[in-house]
Amino acid sequence: MNTPIFYIMLLFVLLFAVLEVKPLIKKRMFRELVAASLILLLALGYGTDLAMDWMKLPNPRGLITVVAPLSQSFEKTLQVNQ
């Protein structure tokens, strides 16, 4: 079990909660708050799975290989030529 990684992830979540949640709620930016929270929860889930050596979640590498051509086409489309 790799507990220092787990504690670092918890620290990061607490920093996010302290520094970002209250300003986002005050500015009524609920979509950004939900999107950031979902990404953070997904990262926390995968990080916990890795830190505790559970290996219960699917490997995201398969998804990355499926999405890579789409990502490359966006890069080519959005590339700025000088």
Residue 45 CB neighbours (<10 A): 12
Burial tier of 41 (Cβ tally within 10 Å: 0-12, 13-18, 19+): exposed
Q: For all residues of the chain together, what is the average pLDDT?
A: 89
Measured distance CA(32)–CA(15) in Å, rounded: 17
Instruction: Report domain extents, the chain.
Output: 3-78
pLDDT tens profile 1-36: 667 888 999 999 999 999 999 999 999 999 999 999
What's residue 18's pLDDT? 93
For residues 55 and 48, what is the distance between their CA atoms, to the nearest angstrom? Answer: 10
